[in-house]
Amino acid sequence: MNALGHAHPKLIEALTEQANKVWHVSNLYQVEGQTALAEKLINLTFADTVFFANSGAEALEASIKMARKYHAVSGHPERYELITFEGAFHGRTLATIAAGGQEKYLEGFGPATPGFVQVPLNDLAAVKAAISENTAGFLIEPIQGEGGICEATKDFMRQLRALADEHGLLLVLDEVQCGVGRTGHLYAYQDMGIEPDIMASAKGIGGGFPLGACLATAEAAKGMTPGTHGSTYGGNPLAVAVGGAVIDEVSKPEFLEHVRRVSGRLSQGLSMLADEYPDVIEAVRGRGLMLGLKCVKPNTELQKAFMDKGLLTVAAGDNVVRLLPPLIISEDEAMDAVARIEAVCAELSTKSTAGKEEVSAS
Ligand SMILES: *Cc1c(COP(=O)(O)O)cnc(C)c1O
C-alpha cells in the first residue's frame, strides 16, 4: 500500500530512472535491482535469501511451497501441513484462502486446498494439540489485519518459536500488512524477541507498485533449488527499483522513530475518545500505525461516517475499523484524524445529545 503516500519524490526518481532503462528481462538474466534489494533485506532482517513475487498472496504461496519442500527434501514429505490461526488472512489464491480458513472467502470455490489446520490465536494448548506427524510448521500474522488488528502476544510468539525448534518445524510469518515499518519497526517480529524461518512481505514494500517477497534462512530455503519455483514478472526491474527506494527510506532509524512518535500521539488521542465515548468505541488496538477501533455500533456504520468526514478507514473482522495511514503522516494530520473521529463519536453517541463537553485531543 501507499506506505510513503502518493508521488513520493524518491519513488518517482527510482521508477522513472529505471523506466528509462529496461522494464523487463527474462529471469535467465540477473537483474541488478533484484540483487540490490535482496541484499538490503538480507542485511536488515533474519533472511539469507529472498524470492520476489508480484503480490502478497504470491509471496505466501512461495512461503507455503518452501515450507513443504523443506520437509520433503529432509526426508519427510508427509510433513506438509501448516497450523494457522482463526481470523487469519493470507490472500485470495486457492491455497491462501484455505490457509486463512474464512468461510466467506472459501464459499463457492470448491473443496478447500488441503494442508491447513486452524486453531485459536494465542492458544498454546490448542497449538500443541494440533501438532501431528503431518505438521510442517506454523503460519502466523504477528498482528492480524483483516481479522481485526488482533495481536499475537510476544509470549505466544516465543512459545511458537520454541515449539518449532523442539519439533523440527518451521515458523512462517505473514508480514504482508504489519511489515515494512508499519509497527514502528521494519518488521513486527523484530520487536518480539524471535526470528522466523520464512517470512512473506508485500503491500508496503512496493510503496504502491506491485511487489512481494518471500524471505528465508538458507536452511529453510534449501529445497528451493533453481527450477522448483518461478515467476515471469516477480522481481521485475521497475518493481525492485521502487522497492529498493522504499526500503532505503523506511529502514532509516529516524523514519521508524517518526512512526513510533506519531503512533504514540494517535493512539493516545484515540484512547481518550474510547474513554469519552464508550458507547461508540469499546477499545483501541494495535501498534505503530496499524491501529484498530473496536466498535460498539456496526463497524461499517462508523467507517461510512468517517468517510463522510473525509477520513478513509477500512472495516475488519471482530467489528473493528482499521486505521492504516501512510507512514509519512505528520502529528498534525494524525490529530486532525482524531478530531474527525471525535466528531463522528459525538454524532453517534447517545450521551452527546445531553450536551456533553468535548474532549480535547492533544
Ligand atoms: C493483503 C494481505 C495478503 C494478500 O496480499 P495481496 O497483495 O492482496 O495478494 C496476505 N496477507 C496479509 C496479512 C494481508 O494483509
- The CA 324 to ligand 1 mean position distance, Å, reads 14
pLDDT in tens, 266-324: 999 999 999 999 999 999 999 999 999 999 999 999 999 999 999 999 999 999 999 99
Average pLDDT over residues 189-193: 98
Name, in order, each residue with C-beta under 8 angstroms of 52's C-beta and a sequence gap of 6 or more: 34, 37, 38, 211, 212, 213, 214, 231, 234, 235, 239, 240
> Is the CB of residue 160 less than 8 Å from the CB of residue 140?
yes
Domain with CATH 3.90.1150.10 in the chain: 254-351
State whether the beta carbon of 71 lies less than 6 angstroms from ligand 1.
no
Ligand 1 centre distance from Cα of residue 258 (Å)? 25
Q: What percent of the chain has pLDDT over 90?
A: 95
pLDDT value of residue 28: 86
The pTM assigned to this predicted structure is 0.96
Q: Which amino acid is at 292?
A: G
247 neighbors 3 (Cβ within 8 angstroms): no
Query: What integer is the mean pLDDT of 346-361?
Result: 65
Q: Is 299 in the pocket of ligand 1 (CB under 6 A)?
A: no
Return the ligand 1 atom nearest residue 92 CA.
Answer: 9
Does pLDDT of 144 surpass 90?
yes
Dist CA 293 CA 302 (whole Å): 10
Cβ–ligand 1 contact at 244 (below 6 Å): no
What SS3 class is residue 119?
Answer: strand
Q: Is the CB of 55 under 6 A from ligand 1?
A: yes
Atom of ligand 1 nearest to the CA of 146: 15
Backbone φ and ψ for 193, nearest 5 degrees, come out as 70, 20
With a cut of 70, say whether residue 56 has pLDDT above it.
Answer: yes
What's the pLDDT score for residue 350?
86
CA–CA gap between residue 196 and residue 46 (Å, rounded): 7
Ligand 1 centroid from CA 90, angstroms: 5
DSSP-derived 3-state class of residue 267: helix
Coil vs helix vs strand at 259: helix
Q: What is the mean pLDDT of the chain?
A: 96
How confident is the model at residue 351, as a pLDDT? 67
Distance 201 CA to ligand 1 centre (A): 9
Could you give the CA distance from residue 188 to residue 164 in angstroms, rounded to a whole number? Answer: 19
73-132 per-position pLDDT tens digit: 999 999 999 999 999 999 999 999 999 999 999 999 999 999 999 999 999 999 999 999
Indicate the top mutation candidate among 2, 85, 89 to test ligand 1's pocket, ranked by most ligand atoms within 8 A of CB: 89
DSSP 8-state assignment for residue 172: E
Delimiting residues of CATH 3.40.640.10 domain(s) in the chain: 9-251
Protein residue closest via CA to atom 11 of ligand 1: 90
Q: Are strands 135-140 and 49-53 parallel, antiparallel or unpaired?
A: unpaired
pLDDT tier for residue 355 given thresholds of 50, 70 and 90: very low
Measured in degrees and rounded to the nearest 5, phi and psi for residue 255 equal -70, -45
CATH architecture of 9-251: 3-Layer(aba) Sandwich (3.40)
Which runs of consecutive H residues, i.e. helices, occur in the chain?
9-19, 32-44, 56-73, 94-100, 103-106, 124-130, 154-167, 237-250, 253-276, 299-308, 331-348
Q: Which residue reads 471525535 in cell numbers?
A: 342
- The CATH classification number of 254-351 equals 3.90.1150.10
Q: How far is the CA of 177 from the centre of ligand 1 (A)?
A: 7
